[in-house]
Amino acid sequence: MSGMWIFLTLVFLAVFLLAQGLVIPVFGESRKMRKRLLARLESVSASGARAQVASLLRQSYLQKLSPLERSLETLPGMDRLARLIEQTGHATPAYRIIMLSAAGAAAGAVAGWLSTRVWFAALLLALLAASAPFLKILRDRARRVAKFEEQLPEALDVIKRALKAGHPFSQTLKLIAEDMDAPVSSEFELVFTEINYGSDVRTAMLGLVERVPSVSVMAFITAVLVQKETGGNLAETLERITAVIRGRFKLHRRVRTLSAEGRLSAWILAMVPLVLFVIIWFTTPDYLPTLLKHPLGSRLIMGAAVLAILGIAWIRRIIRIQV
């Protein structure tokens, strides 16, 4: 029955690779653009000061935990996971995600072994259960960033109109916090609170881009920081940035429409062999056992699985267009 488990693994990987399109943010972020904007931010920001503030906040958070929780939170990689959870908008401690993942892995391994007595199946179920909390975090983060980007043009319009009316920049952030919905209202409220409690605009804005890692947000923060350093008309700059963001939305939706046929083809090409396998298994049960039990048949299934996964990954690369 090793061939059957190879087939089930193929089903899981195919659905997983194709379903990743559901958690991609509204914009397919360009890594090169993100690196250029990050370099621009670093050139105009005091990154050391921001790191010091983040360290102080981390120490303050750890002091509120019990000794056991504190020891778990100080494990390697926990600060990175905590930052990822913060980007989802949740307040779950990082160690709870690790414990939930470990518990899920143990439960999946036990359930897989008791139900099949096949170590490969137990390992597969353990990996699935262990990865579920992290996949949910990534999905929630992508959804939150996407919603923030959808609200950002309207928020920039509010800032632009308030600046033209003579309001100071920090007061425009308060207007967004009061008049708009989450997550943009909660994030700008945090920025306003940081500035109100004595933090400079640079540090507060860099905190925003850490919580909402987005090219559009980085472009907005770059404009604000450059204007603070060199002067200029911030309202006009924000007006141009808003036009660019809305243009990206329009272009992205057009690309999504034009690539819909390619995405549907990807699903059909990936699922047709699997569906045919299931149909033949139930309609002609004596037809497939030879393939599944023969050593050469297992090798053929393994080769087909590898080629299918490579094909799915390549199709996803083709239809995912950076905007």
Considering the domain boundaries, does residue 291 fall inside one?
A: yes
Contact in structure between 249 and 26 (CB atoms under 8 Å): yes
Residue 129 domain-assigned (yes or no): no
Q: How confident is the model at residue 169 (pLDDT cuts 50, 70, 90)?
A: confident
pLDDT, tens digit (0-9, with 9 covering 90-100), for 102-114: 999 999 888 878 8
Asked if residue 306 lies in contact with residue 13, where contact means CB atoms within 8 angstroms, the answer is: no
Q: How far apart are CA 31 and CA 176, in angstroms?
A: 29
Q: For residue 8, what pLDDT is reported?
A: 60
- pLDDT one-digit tens code per residue, 269-293: 777 877 787 788 788 878 777 777 7
Percent of the chain with pLDDT over 70: 74
The secondary structure of 250-310, three-state, reads HHHHHHHHHCHHHHHHHHHHHHHHHHHHHHHHHHCCCCCHHHHHCHHHHHHHHHHHHHHHH
Q: How far is 262 from 195, CA to CA, in rounded Å?
A: 47
Within a domain: 177: no
Report yes or no on 24 lying in a domain: yes
Residue 27: the pLDDT is 44
Residue 241 lies in a domain: no
Q: What pLDDT, on the 0 to 100 scale, is given for residue 152?
A: 92
| 51 occurs within a structural domain | no
Domain that holds residue 16: 1-32+259-323
| Mean pLDDT, rounded, for 158-163 | 90
Per the CB < 8 A criterion, the answer to whether 208 and 187 are in contact is yes
User: Mind listing the pLDDT tens digit for each residue in 28-61?
Assistant: 445 555 566 556 555 555 444 555 545 545 555 5
The answer to whether the predicted template modeling score (pTM) of the entire model surpasses 0.85 is: no
Q: Is residue 302 part of a domain?
A: yes
**Per-residue pLDDT tens for 226-248?**
888 887 788 888 889 999 888 88
Cα–Cα distance, 25 to 320 (Å, whole number): 11
23-27, 155-159, 223-227, 319-323: least confident range: 23-27
Given a cut of 80, is residue 24 above it in pLDDT?
Answer: no
Lowest mean pLDDT among 51-55, 143-147, 227-231, 258-262: 51-55
d(CA 103, CA 132): 11
Could you check whether the bond before residue 289 is cis, i.e. omega within 30 degrees of 0? no
Please choose, from the candidates 134, 142, 141, 156, the residue with its C-alpha nearest in 3D space to the C-alpha of residue 241.
Answer: 156
Residue 192 domain-assigned?
Answer: no
Alpha-carbon gap, residue 55 to 299, rounded angstroms: 53
> Residue 119, Cβ neighbours under 10 Å: how many?
12
User: Residue 1 pLDDT more than 50?
Assistant: no
Predicted local confidence at residue 155, as pLDDT: 92
Quick one: pLDDT at residue 23? 42
pLDDT digits (tens, 9 = 90+) for 170-222: 889 888 988 888 889 988 988 888 888 877 888 888 888 888 888 888 888 88
Whole-number Cα distances in Å, 249 to 119, 156, 182, 191: 47, 15, 20, 25
Determine the pLDDT at residue 106.
Answer: 92
Q: Write down the pLDDT at residue 26.
A: 40
Amino acid letter at 198?
G
Burial 19-47 (b: 16+ CB within 10 A, else e): eeeeeebbbebeeeeeeebeebbeeebee
Instruction: Kindly indicate the confidence band of residue 22, based on its pLDDT and cuts at 50, 70 and 90.
Output: very low
Give the mean model confidence (pLDDT) for residues 158-174: 89
- Looking at every residue in the chain, the average pLDDT score rounds to 76
Please give the tally of structural domains in the chain: 1
